[in-house]
Structure 1
Amino acid sequence: MPPRLPRSGGGNGGRGPAGLLLSRDAPAVDEIESLRFRGSGLTLAADGAGPAGGPVILFLHGSGQTRQSWRRALAEAAARGYRGIALDLRGHGDSDWSPDGRYGLPLFAADLREVIAQLPRPPVLVGASLGGLVSILVCGELPAPASALVLVDIAPRVEERGAREVIAFMDSAPDGFASLEEAADAVSAYLPHRERPRDTRGLQRNLRLRNGRWYWHWDPAFMQMGRDAGAKHRFDGPNPFEQPARSLRLPTLLLRGGRSQIVSEASVREFHEWVPHAEYIDIAGAHHMVAGDANDAFNDAVFGFIDRQGGAA
């Protein structure tokens, strides 16, 4: 395992940017270990919880999010005897930014392979959105470097309208915010179904203070990848995720938010054609940020699936 770092301290965690409302039941800070992993030419930050010798569950967030989005899932993993690890992808959170400003799925996949190689055993991968797409690419390789795969509201076919909304929100504040209150207002406008947090201090985990203004906690250069992807969601040729998906042989669960605008019922049917052995659970009432919208149902579905795989042994 990678060396432990001093605990970051402060705050109670949060989700973001597409789910920045704070998690009231996040584990106490002293239960979380700060970790570093070697990525592909850079260093990646992570949080760990649970017994070091337990079966490993590696959580991968979506575009514009950070490892903080998995705080409650880490607590649940630790309580069940698993070793939960939540990673900041390159250009996000406290991980290094790409030195040349380039981002793309092959780079994220190369990072993931490096991280898995540093783990004591093949992990269960739980990937939301971007993290799920990267997981499909890596797990479609044979032999797969993971023991099981959970896709959280993401499938090879991404609905264009939902993707455009996410990209538009991420691109909506290039000059940052004058205050945490202003940032919270922006999140509430984007996610009106979520209760606005009364205490906005937790947002500091998802923002960086530069020259007196608050900016989202990701490399601005990452947004070019989002803009490029936004123009390509209607694949002109073969879907580049089809072959990796058809190559999946490990136990797989597709978890969809019932109100998702990213994964449609048609996307689910197509995924089942390509991965017929995959399990599928629809969580009614949840939007794209399933873990934040319906945390208990999310935990029941994910950990129930992992337990059925023999505890990811």
Structure 2
Amino acid sequence: MTSAVQHRVRTQDGITLAADCYDHDDARPVVLLLHGGGQNRHAWSASARRLHACGYTVVAYDTRGHGDSDWDPAGRYDLERLATDLLAVREHFSADIAPAVVGASLGGMTVLGTHLLTSGASWAAVVLVDVTPRLEFQGARRVVTFMAAHPDGFGTLDDAAEVIAAYNPHRSRPANVDGLRKVLRQRHDGRWIWRWDPAFIHSNFDFLRDESTTGTEQFDAISHLLIDGARRVNAPTLLVRGLLSDVVSQATVDEFKQLVPHAETVDVSGTGHMIAGDDNDAFSSAVTEFLGRSFL
């Protein structure tokens, strides 16, 4: 298949985002892929290849503060800024024709956030991956607690692999840990740290580790924003849920379907919050089948 070509996208406030584009051909419909918090564009490698083989131009980019994209010097990672970044990426790759957009976790929240901007958002199709406007508080807390742990990194890649395996007990620990180099970088002292800005958590999601009333109030405020965004989604929409996820539940799915009555849902058994990594074949099949109908 065509190798990905790396692009640099400049945001409105001067942040440079790293993006991989598979086959930028005007004759192909465009699909934008947004990763979850703490991940980067490489999380989509298998899905991007599958989508490209099905005839799409595929773009996966690193959210600000993640992967090879710039860290925001002022620690600005609010929903409005992330949504504005997404529209900058859209303008760069598909200014004239509405692309489809696939957002996992934080990426899905960002997609919903684009509908709150004054400029609005127009998508050919929307795919949300294990994210709903209202999430399960304890599941979201577990994600943030994991991300905030080990601020000083890991002594070896094997040490990191053990921690990740404990966090995802349903997923087999890989025999070869070299793939972790895509989510970790080696510091000058030899320790391995995550490829994302710690300020991303501290500025946006520290409240999730707060068991006081204040924490739940902030959580509810974000939920209400996303609910407002969901009500404005009018493109063909698919919600993909991991049945082992503790972040999205049947109750949050039911609420989402009331907000977006035209949305379709697919449950993927044996997968948790990171569906594409747990069972990429099942995930990619669901997405390609949906997009094939949506682009007709």
C-alpha distance in 2 between matches for 1:228 and 1:105: 15
Is the Cα contact below 8 Å between 1:258 and 1:283 reproduced in 2? yes
Which whole-Å deviations, capped at 9, do the CAs of 1:264-295 have from their partners, x for residues lacking one? 10101111111101111111221111111121
Range 165-174 or range 50-59, more displaced: 50-59
Query: Could you tell me how far 1:148 is from its partner in structure 2?
Result: 1.0
Report SS of the residue matched to 2:186.
strand
Report the number of matched residues: 283
Query: Could you tell me how far 1:229 is from its partner in structure 2?
Result: 4.9
Which whole-Å deviations, capped at 9, do the CAs of 1:128-163 have from their partners, x for residues lacking one? 000000101214567533211000000001101111
Query: Could you tell me how far 1:226 is from its partner in structure 2?
Result: 2.1
Report SS of the residue matched to 1:241.
helix
The answer to whether the aligner puts 1:117 opposite 2:91 as a matched pair is yes
Aligned with 1:89 (options 41, 60, 63)? 63
The aligned residue for residue 280 of structure 2 is 295
Is the Cα contact below 8 Å between 1:253 and 1:279 reproduced in 2? yes
Query: Could you tell me how far 1:34 is from its partner in structure 2?
Result: 1.5
The 1:280–1:201 alpha-carbon spacing in structure 2 relative to 1, beyond 3 Å, is same
Range 226-235 or range 204-213, more displaced: 226-235
Alignment of 1:190-269 (within 5 A): 190-210=167-187, 211-224=189-202, 225-229=204-208, 231-232=215-216, 234-235=219-220, 239-269=224-254
Report the TM-score when normalising by structure 2: 0.90
- What is the CA RMSD across the aligned residues, in angstroms? 1.8
Aligned with 1:135 (options 92, 106, 111)? 111
C-alpha distance in 2 between matches for 1:308 and 1:236: 35
**Which consecutive aligned stretches of 4+ in structure 1 deviate over 4 angstroms post-superposition?**
140-143
Amino acid at match of 2:205: G
Amino acid at match of 2:44: W
Report SS of the residue matched to 1:243.
helix
Report SS of the residue matched to 1:235.
helix
The answer to whether the aligner puts 1:36 opposite 2:3 as a matched pair is no
Is the Cα contact below 8 Å between 1:51 and 1:78 reproduced in 2? no
Report SS of the residue matched to 1:198.
coil
Query: Could you tell me how far 1:119 is from its partner in structure 2?
Result: 2.0
Is the Cα contact below 8 Å between 1:260 and 1:288 reproduced in 2? yes
The aligned residue for residue 48 of structure 1 is 21
Amino acid at match of 2:146: F
Report SS of the residue matched to 1:118.
helix
Report the TM-score when normalising by structure 1: 0.86
C-alpha distance in 2 between matches for 1:237 and 1:97: 23
Aligned with 1:145 (options 122, 144, 162)? 122
C-alpha distance in 2 between matches for 1:305 and 1:203: 31
C-alpha distance in 1 between matches for 2:25 and 2:17: 19
C-alpha distance in 1 between matches for 2:90 and 2:3: 23
The 1:36–1:272 alpha-carbon spacing in structure 2 relative to 1, beyond 3 Å, is same
Query: Could you tell me how far 1:234 is from its partner in structure 2?
Result: 4.5
C-alpha distance in 2 between matches for 1:286 and 1:31: 28
C-alpha distance in 2 between matches for 1:162 and 1:81: 36
C-alpha distance in 1 between matches for 2:221 and 2:32: 33
Report SS of the residue matched to 2:205.
helix
Amino acid at match of 2:126: L
Query: Could you tell me how far 1:228 is from its partner in structure 2?
Result: 3.0
C-alpha distance in 2 between matches for 1:186 and 1:144: 39
Identity of aligned residues (%): 45
Amino acid at match of 2:5: E
The 1:143–1:101 alpha-carbon spacing in structure 2 relative to 1, beyond 3 Å, is closer
| Structure 1: tracts of 5 or more residues without a match | 1-26
Is the Cα contact below 8 Å between 1:57 and 1:84 reproduced in 2? yes
Is the Cα contact below 8 Å between 2:141 and 2:208 reproduced in 1? no
Query: Could you tell me how far 1:237 is from its partner in structure 2?
Result: 9.3
The aligned residue for residue 286 of structure 1 is 271
C-alpha distance in 2 between matches for 1:178 and 1:259: 30
Report SS of the residue matched to 1:240.
helix
Query: Could you tell me how far 1:214 is from its partner in structure 2?
Result: 0.7
Which whole-Å deviations, capped at 9, do the CAs of 1:102-147 have from their partners, x for residues lacking one? 2211111111111111123321110000000010121456753321
C-alpha distance in 1 between matches for 2:223 and 2:136: 16
Report SS of the residue matched to 1:261.
coil
C-alpha distance in 2 between matches for 1:140 and 1:302: 25
